[in-house]
Amino acid sequence: MKIIEFCDTTLRDGEQAPGNTMKPKDKLLIAKKLENIGVNVIEAGFPASSKEDFEAIKLISSHLKKATVCSFARCVEKDIDIANESTKGAKNRMLMIFYAISDIHLKNKYNTNRKDAMEKIKNSIRYSKQYFKRIKFGLEDATRADPKYLHQVINLLLNEGVDTIALGDTTGWITPLETFKLVKNVVYQVNGKVKISIHCHNDLGMATANTLSAIMAGVDEVDTTVNGIGERAGNTPFEEIVVSLVVRKDIFKRKINIKLNALMPLSELVYKIINRTPSHEKPIVGVNAFRHESGVHIDGIKKDPSTYEIFNPKKNWTQARIFIWKTFKQEMTC
Ligand code: MN
């Protein structure tokens, strides 16, 4: 059964949303928990963006033993130099470098054209290779790019020898069926030569559905954030993908190496650090995810929880109820 790997970007994409700033020591606490739970790659920050981010990545690099530390950079030589400096102490490291490929971004953001963009991408990868053995190339706004141009850029990335290609649904634009078709085409094109990763945003509430659709279409890795924190309406929530792959293994048929009983403490830690609590209805970790009030529901739950709960948090998610008790001091009704 194919394994799905996780690239967690809580400390980069999650942190860059308003109100989510984290101190280096807090980032380290989260990074250690992410490593412990089984996340493969930890995107630890954007070191060229601030001194604090640089310090955080340096700190995380010196502490992690198993997980790969990934440093974020634009296609700018100075960014790549700083990413190299920040991760020098890491046991396992890689570079995440990105460029937008939709015409909207090429014109509005870079004031460039498709041909010059390809040149920039090529030169940046070649420059990065003096430092990094492993490179993940993020195609920003890939889902709004011309599919023919996406095809060309992917061929360039294959020729330049990157390790992973991330398809960015940067604006939360795509739908699950479109995701499936797009990923299928890309997986066919790369033919196993590189890993394919999907990076979704939740502007239309479809990040989880799109990510799961991409998994069904054959991606190797998914970008997620704990509790779905991230720009605007957020990123794909880590816990939703993990639990979906477990509960509906019959459909997704994928293996994951994630410790389920560590999900709630991780969720709780991230909320604590950014000083927030989940919405009551938040899947998996919301206070109402396993609470019931209606008499009909409570009657069903008492007879057999599976009447209204599709998985049992007591079995694998032991911490779920403890978390709710601790936070809200309310007795569970089941
Ligand atoms: Mn993003």
Predicted confidence (pLDDT) per residue in 244-281, tens digit: 999 999 999 999 999 998 998 999 999 999 999 999 99
The pLDDT tens digits for 97-134 are 999 999 999 999 999 999 999 999 999 999 999 999 99
Residue 120 sits in the same domain as residue 38: yes
Residue 224: which of 214, 234, 213 has the closest Cα? 234
Residue 298, pLDDT score: 79
Lowest mean pLDDT among 209-213, 254-258, 309-313: 309-313
Residue 28: which of 5, 10, 40 has the closest Cα? 10
Residue 100 sits in the same domain as residue 131: yes
Residue 291, pLDDT score: 81
Task: State the sign of the Cα–Cα–Cα–Cα dihedral 25, 270, 329, 246.
Answer: negative
The pLDDT tens digits for 13-30 are 999 999 999 999 999 999
Lowest mean pLDDT among 46-50, 202-206, 320-324: 320-324
Q: How far is the CA of 304 from the centre of ligand 1 (A)?
A: 41
Q: What CATH number should be reported for the domain holding residue 133?
A: 3.20.20.70
Residue 209 sits in the same domain as residue 245: yes
Residue 332 pLDDT > 60: no
Residue 153 sits in the same domain as residue 281: no
Residue 298 sits in the same domain as residue 251: no
Neighbours of 117 (CB within 10 A): 20
* 304 — pLDDT class (breaks 50, 70, 90): confident
Specify whether the CB–CB gap between 44 and 70 falls below 8 A.
Answer: yes
For tokens 């939740």, the residue is 202
Residue 231 sits in the same domain as residue 301: no
Q: How far is the CA of 70 from the centre of ligand 1 (A)?
A: 15
Residue 317, pLDDT score: 53
Residue 92 pLDDT > 70: yes
Q: How far is the CA of 235 from the centre of ligand 1 (A)?
A: 7
Q: How far is the CA of 328 from the centre of ligand 1 (A)?
A: 32
The pLDDT tens digits for 178-198 are 999 999 999 999 999 999 999
Identity of the residue numbered 322:
I
Residue 230 sits in the same domain as residue 327: no
Of 225, 259, 293, which residue sits at a domain end? Answer: 259
Residue 280 sits in the same domain as residue 246: no
Residue 321 sits in the same domain as residue 273: yes
Q: How far is the CA of 101 from the centre of ligand 1 (A)?
A: 14
Q: Please provide the average confidence, as pLDDT, over all residues in the chain.
A: 93
Residue 312, pLDDT score: 77
Residue 320 pLDDT > 60: no
Residue 330, pLDDT score: 43
Q: How far is the CA of 320 from the centre of ligand 1 (A)?
A: 28
Q: How far is the CA of 292 from the centre of ligand 1 (A)?
A: 35
The residue range of the domain holding 320 is 268-333
Residue 305, pLDDT score: 81
Residue 157 sits in the same domain as residue 304: no
Q: How far is the CA of 16 from the centre of ligand 1 (A)?
A: 9
Residue 132 sits in the same domain as residue 216: yes
Residue 146 sits in the same domain as residue 245: yes
Q: Domain count of the chain?
A: 2
Residue 99: which of 43, 45, 156, 148 has the closest Cα? 156
Of 259, 278, 299, which residue sits at a domain end? Answer: 259
Residue 315, pLDDT score: 56
In terms of pLDDT, which residue wins out, 165 or 301?
165
Torsion angles phi and psi, residue 257, rounded to 5: -110, 65
Q: How far is the CA of 140 from the centre of ligand 1 (A)?
A: 8
CA distance 141 to 10: 19
Of 209, 235, 259, which residue sits at a domain end? Answer: 259
Q: How far is the CA of 261 from the centre of ligand 1 (A)?
A: 27
